[in-house]
Structure 1
Amino acid sequence: MNFETAKWRRESLEGEVLDDLALERRRKRRLIIIAAIAAAAIAVAAFLIFGGGSEEKAAGAAAAKGAQQAPTVSVIVPGRQQVARTISATGTIAARRDMPVGIAGEGGMVARVLVEAGQWVGAGQTLAVIERSVQSQEAQQLAAAIDVARADARLAQQELERAQALVSRGFVSKADVERRVATRDAANARVRVAQAQLGASRARIGRLDVRAPAAGLILDRNVEAGQVVSAGSGALFRIAQGGQMELLARLPQTDLATLSVGVPVTVTPVGSQQSYQGSVWQISPIIDAQTRQGEARIAIPYNRELRPGGFASAEVRAGATTAPLLPESAVLTDDAGSYVLIVTANNTVQRRPVRVGTVTDRGVVVAEGLNGNERVVESAGAFLNPGEKVRPQRAASR
């Protein structure tokens, strides 16, 4: 009885001992778990505190490095300047008044040519002489006919005077006197007809001389001695009246609209270093429907270097305009047209289309697209892309 009781108690004691060990292990596991969680929390906090700041610093450093790596570009602020408006044009030199001279009469064989191309002649000066032997004989015949008519007129007058003396005596009737008066008048009329015929013949002879209609410079000679000419032979000579020259300049419709008579022009013949001063004296009232161009006629004083038919360029000073002025390196061109690159407030590149006006020695006038306050990339714009970050540097004033 006692043995069994003791055995039961020992087994009960051993069971209690086993339960305390299990509890101890559980407590240790909980402590380990709590310690691990706390360590993890501390690690996360430390990472957030120290690691996050490092990332921000790294990001800031990267941004600074990127800013340092952005290309440096020179920019200019052009403002607005008053620029002389100059229009460039090309054209052909010609005589301002090109006068063709031909045969005014019936013509004939040329006996003599008295002038050469390049000579100056006066108004009415004989340029060429047509052979006139036949016409001279006709004139002599008409002169003789005048003498015959005058003799008849004198005879008719004498007969009239005798008849008037006898009419009072009754030997001649009044009807006879009237017939003699008519005969006398007819004879006088024949004299005048003969004189007119002689005058006409002499005028035809005078027209056989080819004469200059006005003073000027002989530009061309198209006749030689021995040549048979007539009214249908065309111009035998060409004369520049007064030696005055002009440039027939072709201009676009927009430029032509800005011109006015009297505007000064500098004309430079092709291949010559010498320039000549002239002025616009006439503007074409029409525009060519095909080319949309018109003609401005520029008067030029005579100079032996200005030869009609030659090619020349002209610089027309058509007033002044106020606009931004850029160096040629700042203006770029592609298939879409002319443009410039500007740097915005946040230092990024932006494309700006423009319309180019006059190109001068000082630079390019921008007619449209800029107000003058923009920061424009001065050069190397072809290596930049719109939206690209740059470091702008103000260019030195020119």
Structure 2
Amino acid sequence: MSFESTYGSDTTDNPLLDSEADRSSRWRLIIAGVVVLLVLIGIWFMTHSGTAADEGDAKDQVPVVTVIAPGQTTIEGTINATGTLAARREMPVGIAGEGGQVVAVLVEPGQWVRAGQTLAVIDRSVQVQQQSSQAAQIQVARANADLAEANYQRALKLVGKGFVSKADVDRLRAQRDSAFAQVRVANAQLGVLNAQSRRLNVVAPAAGLVLERRVEPGQVVSAGSGFLFRIAKGGEMELMAQLGETDLAGISPGVSAEVIPVGGEKSFIGQVWQISPVIDPASRQGTARIALAYAPELRPGGFASVVIKSGTMVAPLLPESALLSDSKGSYVYIVGKDNKVERRDVKQGRITARGVVIAGGLSGTERVVLRAGGFLQPGETIKPIAPKP
């Protein structure tokens, strides 16, 4: 037991061992400090080198955007619209008299007629007999008038001799006047019958083109039968174009228009002759009536497109790709100071074949983003380039 005690006591109290332990601790602290220092240096280096790389990458990632300066362009104003073809002055022709059975129809749709030309003939056998009877009544009335005139003349010769009183002369004169009045009445009645007979014929009220026929031989017609023929007066046609309020305000009677019927390629030149004085409150549209000369291709009831000339204006012109819109309205992106994107609200005008007219918001000297505006944000820096020729 004394051996174990002696050995333990020597190990604990040995000064050499304590000195070596202290030196080992100091080395470990030194090594740990060096390691921490190296780590801090590495972190500093990585941080600064990453920032520089990011700055370089940021410079390299600035979007390249095509921009244009639209300037001012002289634009010929045009309004595109659609409408329905119709006769400019359509005349519905029906029965003017009492009517009857149709004996003959003398015209077909597509034929030209002159004023007063007979279109259809109505049976008049009854009217002919009435005219004959009335002509006989006229002869009877004339005979009675002649007799009354002779009696009156004889009385005038006898009144001076005292054979006839003045009262008898007055009575005979009245009878004579009444007889002559009966003749005039009979003649007037015959004139009425002749006029009624003439009205049995359906005639054209004016020269023009027959558009529609709605009667056949053997048909019984009357004043309540509606129209039997439709005639375009003078063959003149028109296009009734539907336009919005803004477009209506931009045109006036007399401006020219080019009309192209659906299904054809031939165009026809006409003029606006009337502009609707009212606007439909539901559609907010009005009608512009465009006069056209007759042509076989212009069929009433057909559909056609029209381009109406509306003068010239000077304004910036942009392609549709440059225009954006949101709840606030239409806008474009322009390049401002330091190549930063700025929003500019604009007012759109007419759409032409070359682009959209900018009626307000741009002077034309600005650099406007041509495309890809939807991917940009106000304040974003870009690299503007001119469009390729």
Tell me the TM-score range normalised by the shorter chain.
Answer: 0.7 to 0.9
1:78 is the counterpart of 2:70: yes
Per the alignment, residue 108 of structure 1 pairs with 100
1:377 is the counterpart of 2:381: no
Classify 1:366/1:384 alpha carbon distance in 2 versus 1 (closer, same or farther; 3 Å).
same
- Following superposition of structure 1 onto structure 2, how do residues 232-251 of structure 1 map, counting pairs within 5 Å? 232-251=224-243
Q: 2:135 aligns with which of 117, 130, 143?
A: 143
- Following superposition of structure 1 onto structure 2, how do residues 47-126 of structure 1 map, counting pairs within 5 Å? 62-126=54-118
Per the alignment, residue 320 of structure 2 pairs with 328
SS where residue 254 of structure 2 aligns?
Answer: coil
**1:130: Cα distance to partner?**
0.8
Per the alignment, residue 290 of structure 1 pairs with 282
Letter in 2 for 1:272: G
Counterparts of 2:58 and 2:257, CA distance in 1: 55
Counterparts of 2:77 and 2:50, CA distance in 1: 56
Counterparts of 2:326 and 2:125, CA distance in 1: 76
What 5-or-longer segments of structure 2 have no aligned partner? 1-36
**1:61: Cα distance to partner?**
6.4
SS where residue 160 of structure 2 aligns?
Answer: helix
Q: 1:354 aligns with which of 346, 351, 368?
A: 346
What 5-or-longer segments of structure 1 have no aligned partner? 1-42
TM-score, normalization: structure 1?
0.82
Query: Structure 1: which 4+ aligned runs deviate by more than 4 Å?
Result: 57-62, 333-337
Larger radius of gyration: 1
**1:331: Cα distance to partner?**
2.3
SS where residue 227 of structure 2 aligns?
Answer: coil
1:208 is the counterpart of 2:189: no
Counterparts of 2:283 and 2:339, CA distance in 1: 44
**1:334: Cα distance to partner?**
5.2
Which is worse superposed, 228-237 or 351-360?
351-360
Counterparts of 1:359 and 1:255, CA distance in 2: 12
1:311 is the counterpart of 2:303: yes
The number of residue pairs the alignment matches comes to 349
Letter in 2 for 1:258: G
Residue by residue over 1:33-68, the C-alpha shift from the partner in whole angstroms, topping out at 9 and shown as x without a partner, is: xxxxxxxxxx9xxx9xxx99x95x986665454333
Letter in 1 for 2:332: V
SS where residue 337 of structure 2 aligns?
Answer: coil
Q: 1:252 aligns with which of 234, 241, 244?
A: 244
- How large is the Cα RMSD of the aligned pairs? 2.4
Per the alignment, residue 171 of structure 2 pairs with 179
SS where residue 239 of structure 1 aligns?
Answer: strand
Q: 2:381 aligns with which of 378, 383, 389?
A: 389
Identity of matched residues, %: 59
**1:314: Cα distance to partner?**
1.5
Q: 1:231 aligns with which of 223, 228, 232?
A: 223
Letter in 1 for 2:357: V
Per the alignment, residue 162 of structure 2 pairs with 170
SS where residue 176 of structure 2 aligns?
Answer: helix
TM-score, normalization: structure 2?
0.83
Residue by residue over 1:183-203, the C-alpha shift from the partner in whole angstroms, topping out at 9 and shown as x without a partner, is: 111111110000000000000
Counterparts of 2:377 and 2:384, CA distance in 1: 14
Q: 1:299 aligns with which of 286, 291, 305?
A: 291
Per the alignment, residue 259 of structure 2 pairs with 267
Counterparts of 1:76 and 1:60, CA distance in 2: 34
Letter in 1 for 2:261: P
Residue by residue over 1:91-113, the C-alpha shift from the partner in whole angstroms, topping out at 9 and shown as x without a partner, is: 11111111111111111111111
Letter in 2 for 1:266: E
